Amino acid sequence: TDRPPLRLGFLGDSTAAGQGVHRASQTPGALLASGLAAVSELPVDFRNVALPGAQSDDLPRQVELLLADGSGAPDVCVIMIGANDVTHRMPPAQSVRHLSEAVRRLHTAGCAVVVGTCPDLGTIEPVYQPLRWVARRLSRQLAAAQTIGVIESGGRTVSLGDLLGPEFEARPRELFGPDNYHPSAEGYATAAMAVLPTLCAALGLWPEEERPEPARGEGLLPVEQAAAEAASEGGTEVTASRAPWALLKHRRRRQLPSAEPTDPSSIGR
Mapped onto helix, strand or coil, the DSSP state of residue 239 is strand
DSSP 154: T
Catalytic residue IDs: 14, 179, 182
H helix intervals, 45-184: 59-67, 83-87, 92-108, 131-152, 161-170, 172-175
d(CA 252, CA 218): 12
Highest mean predicted confidence (pLDDT) among 106-110, 136-140, 211-215? 106-110
**Domain 6-266 is found in CATH 3.40.50.300:** no
Average the pLDDT over 216-242 and give the result.
Answer: 87
pLDDT at residue 235 is higher than 90 = no
d(CA 1, CA 3): 6
Average the pLDDT over 48-76 and give the result.
Answer: 91
Phi-psi region of 259 (alpha: psi -120 to 50; beta: other; left: phi over 0): alpha
pLDDT at residue 196 is higher than 70 = yes
pLDDT of residue 259: 45
**Sequence-distant (≥ 6) Cβ neighbours of residue 48 within 8 angstroms:** 9, 10, 16, 17, 27, 29
Tell me how crowded residue 263 is: count the other CB atoms within 10 A of its CB: 8
pLDDT of residue 217: 82
Identify which has the larger pLDDT, 180 or 268. 180
Give the model confidence (pLDDT) of 1-13 as tens digits. Answer: 478 899 999 999 9
DSSP bridge partners of 8: 46, 76
Looking at the chain, the whole-number percentage of residues with pLDDT higher than 90 is 43
d(CA 235, CA 71): 32
Helix 223-232 vs helix 131-152: crossing angle, to nearest 10: 140
pLDDT at residue 115 is higher than 70 = yes
pLDDT of residue 183: 65
pLDDT at residue 59 is higher than 90 = yes
